[in-house]
Amino acid sequence: MAGNNTIKLYDLVLKNGLTLSPFVWRTKLAIMHKGFDIDAVPTPYAKIKTIADGKQTRLPVIEDDGKVIPDSFDIAVYLDTTYPDRPKLFNSQGERNYMRFLDQWMFANVVRHLFGCFVLDQVEHSCPEDVDYIRESRQNWFFQGRKLEYVVKDREERIPEIRKSLDPIREHLKNTKWFAGDAPNQLDFMMLSHFLWAGSIGTMPFLAKTDPLWDWLNRAADVYPDVSRDKRLHPLA
Nearest-approach distance from CB 137 to its own copies, in angstroms: 23
Q: With CB under 8 A as the contact rule, which of the stretches 86-94, 113-121, 136-144, 206-214 interacts with its own copies?
A: 86-94
- Note whether 181 binds its own copies by CB under 8 A: yes
Non-local CB neighbours of 208 within 8 Å, separated by 6+ positions: 163, 237
- Note whether 222 binds its own copies by CB under 8 A: no
- Note whether 91 binds its own copies by CB under 8 A: yes
Q: Between 176 and 218, whose beta carbon lies closer to its own copies? A: 176
- Note whether 175 binds its own copies by CB under 8 A: yes
- Note whether 100 binds its own copies by CB under 8 A: yes
- Note whether 95 binds its own copies by CB under 8 A: yes
- Note whether 216 binds its own copies by CB under 8 A: no
Q: With CB under 8 A as the contact rule, which of the stretches 9-17, 87-95, 127-135, 140-148 interacts with its own copies?
A: 87-95
In one-letter notation, the amino acid at residue 87 is: P
Q: With CB under 8 A as the contact rule, which of the stretches 16-24, 74-82, 127-135, 177-185 interacts with its own copies?
A: 177-185
Please report, as ranges, the residues that interact with its own copies according to CB under 8 A.
90-98, 100-102, 104-105, 108, 168, 171-172, 175-176, 179-182, 185, 187
